């Protein structure tokens, strides 16, 4: 099995309760999602946050939002520039894999390593359902062949990505997507077509505890369908097999807590039921996507006052990676798919209207990626490795032949977008 299976575990506070029901449930989920590590770990982190809401509070406090790094108030240190006017952080081209660390001790697993999203048993690297309009001929993957469903992709940021802020001309409209759990927002690269991809899981569940009422019949039915377990026997509160998928979705009984024939045993059994309901709802939700061709980027700047001014180590600082586009993204840039479904067509990306609140991304020409400095610095290095033009924008020795609309003294303020 891939590294994902090696770290199958709920939140730390429930780890001692992990027994057969939890193991079986995680195994089913992993078998369904296969090597789609981003989907698997996002589902896992979303469940962990539901069981431990304080994790969400601590994460939001640590990563904060873009506005905190665009502060123009007087600096605390004499002679230092304000946060907004801090100098850029420069990087050199470098390609490195995305390593995901899970578990206790500040997010590191027991072995102190991480799961490389590009490492799989089949040896093909990281793949996902392809973006609408792309074809296998442009994958440039001779060993993979003509695969019309999956396409190579490389996750580059998400574990420490706090928010993505979209700003239109003069700062209107604006919209900031904030991650409620790790990997809810991710930045990925389509290296073959030189495109930046933002993937967002729309699912966000309420806090829960083992003692809470069991998941609803609707959630459990979603889990059973996604796991290809079929409909339960007649009379079950999970649904009626004779009615199949045409069953009335408005049936109020579907929103009542399930009443299993065999009640769960102990706290571990109840947590396993909550995990099944959570997985059912997560898998029936969507992944929302925005695709940005790197050719449309006319300005690029890595902004991290903690690194540039206070000399903090990258793992202790926050950063903004700011991109300016020569035009808002086209309609074809927006897509969505189901996370999981018994029907393969539901899990393939399809073009959809702008899914951001107020359709802000469709009018935005400036993107602010906010999060941990270490992760965003690595993303900037990867971008520089793909394009000499972007490398010049991010370099301390920028070429005068390359235009960078965000080069100092250009303002990063949202109102100046």
Q: Backbone phi, then psi, for 162, in 5-degree steps? A: -90, -40
Look at residue 175 and tell me if it is in a domain.
Answer: yes
Q: How high is the pLDDT of residue 122? A: 66
Q: Is the pTM of this model over 0.85?
A: yes
User: Are 70 and 358 a contacting pair, CB within 8 Å?
Assistant: no
Q: How high is the pLDDT of residue 5? A: 38
- 147 pLDDT band (50/70/90 cuts)? confident
Q: What is the mean pLDDT of residues 133-149?
A: 69
Residue-wise pLDDT for 164-213, tens only, equals 999 998 888 899 999 999 999 999 999 989 999 999 999 999 999 989 99
Q: How high is the pLDDT of residue 344? A: 78
Query: Which residue in 379, 373, 289 sits closest to 62, CA to CA?
Result: 373
Q: How high is the pLDDT of residue 14? A: 42
Q: Number of structural domains, the chain? A: 1
The C-alpha atoms of residue 416 and residue 410 are separated, in whole angstroms, by 9
Domain that holds residue 125: 3-205+286-416
- 62 pLDDT band (50/70/90 cuts)? confident
Look at residue 403 and tell me if it is in a domain.
Answer: yes
Residue-wise pLDDT for 230-261, tens only, equals 654 433 444 433 344 545 677 888 889 998 88
The C-alpha atoms of residue 161 and residue 63 are separated, in whole angstroms, by 7
Helix (H/G/I), strand (E/B), else coil: 223: helix
Q: How high is the pLDDT of residue 179? A: 94
Q: How high is the pLDDT of residue 113? A: 67
Q: What is the mean pLDDT of residues 111-138?
A: 79
The C-alpha atoms of residue 341 and residue 32 are separated, in whole angstroms, by 9
Look at residue 138 and tell me if it is in a domain.
Answer: yes
Q: What is the mean pLDDT of residues 269-289?
A: 95
Q: Per-residue pLDDT for 376 more than 70? A: yes
For tokens 């993107």, name the residue: 367
Q: What is the mean pLDDT of residues 17-21?
A: 63
Q: Per-residue pLDDT for 152 more than 80? A: yes
Q: What is the mean pLDDT of residues 384-402?
A: 95
- 142 pLDDT band (50/70/90 cuts)? low
Q: Following CA atoms 237, 238, 242, 246 in sequence, which dihedral angle do they give, to the nearest 10 degrees?
A: 120
User: Are 153 and 125 a contacting pair, CB within 8 Å?
Assistant: no
Q: Per-residue pLDDT for 6 more than 70? A: no
Residues with Cβ within 8 Å of 142's Cβ and at least 6 positions away in sequence, in order, are: none
Q: How high is the pLDDT of residue 276? A: 95
Q: Partners of 366 in the beta sheet?
A: 167, 324
Q: How high is the pLDDT of residue 13? A: 44
Look at residue 274 and tell me if it is in a domain.
Answer: no
Look at residue 44 and tell me if it is in a domain.
Answer: yes
Q: How high is the pLDDT of residue 402? A: 96
Q: Across all residues in the chain, what is the average pLDDT?
A: 85
């Amino acid at each position: 099995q891939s590294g994902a299976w090696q770290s199958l575990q709920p939140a730390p506070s429930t780890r001692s309760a992990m027994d057969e029901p939890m193991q079986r449930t995680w195994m089913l989920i992993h078998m369904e999602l296969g090597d789609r590590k981003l989907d698997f770990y996002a589902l896992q982190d979303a469940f962990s946050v539901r069981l431990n809401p304080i994790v969400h509070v601590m994460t939001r406090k640590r990563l904060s939002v873009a506005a905190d790094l665009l502060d123009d108030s007087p600096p605390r240190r004499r002679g230092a520039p304000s946060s907004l006017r801090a100098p850029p952080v420069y990087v050199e081209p470098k390609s490195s894999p995305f390593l995901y660390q899970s578990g206790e001790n500040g997010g590191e697993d027991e072995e102190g390593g991480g799961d490389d999203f590009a490492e799989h048993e089949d040896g093909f690297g990281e793949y996902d359902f392809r973006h609408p309009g792309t074809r296998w001929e442009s994958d440039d993957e001779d060993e993979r062949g003509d695969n019309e469903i999956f396409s190579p992709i490389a996750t580059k940021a998400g574990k420490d990505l706090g928010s993505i802020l979209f700003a239109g001309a003069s700062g209107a409209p604006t919209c900031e997507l904030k991650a409620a759990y790790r990997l809810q927002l991710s930045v990925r690269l389509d290296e073959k077509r030189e495109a930046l991809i933002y993937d967002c899981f729309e699912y966000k569940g309420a806090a829960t505890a083992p003692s809470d009422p069991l998941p609803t019949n609707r959630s459990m039915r979603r889990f059973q369908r996604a796991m290809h377990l079929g409909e339960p026997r007649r009379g079950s509160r999970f649904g009626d097999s004779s009615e199949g998928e045409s069953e009335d979705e408005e049936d109020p009984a579907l929103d009542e807590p399930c009443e299993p024939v065999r009640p769960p045993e102990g706290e571990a059994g109840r947590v396993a039921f909550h995990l099944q309901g959570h997985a059912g709802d997560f898998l029936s939700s969507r992944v929302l996507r925005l695709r940005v061709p790197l050719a449309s980027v006319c300005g690029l700047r890595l902004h991290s006052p903690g690194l540039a001014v206070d000399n903090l180590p990258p793992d202790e600082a926050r950063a903004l990676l700011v991109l300016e586009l020569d035009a808002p993204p086209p309609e074809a840039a927006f897509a969505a798919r189901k996370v999981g479904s018994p029907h393969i067509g539901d899990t393939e990306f399809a073009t959809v209207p702008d899914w951001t609140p107020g359709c802000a991304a469709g009018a935005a020409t400036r993107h602010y990626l906010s999060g941990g400095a270490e992760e965003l610095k690595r993303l900037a290095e990867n971008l520089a490795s793909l394009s000499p033009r972007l490398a010049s924008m991010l370099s301390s020795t920028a070429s005068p032949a390359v235009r960078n609309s965000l080069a100092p003294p250009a303002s990063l303020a949202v109102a100046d977008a």
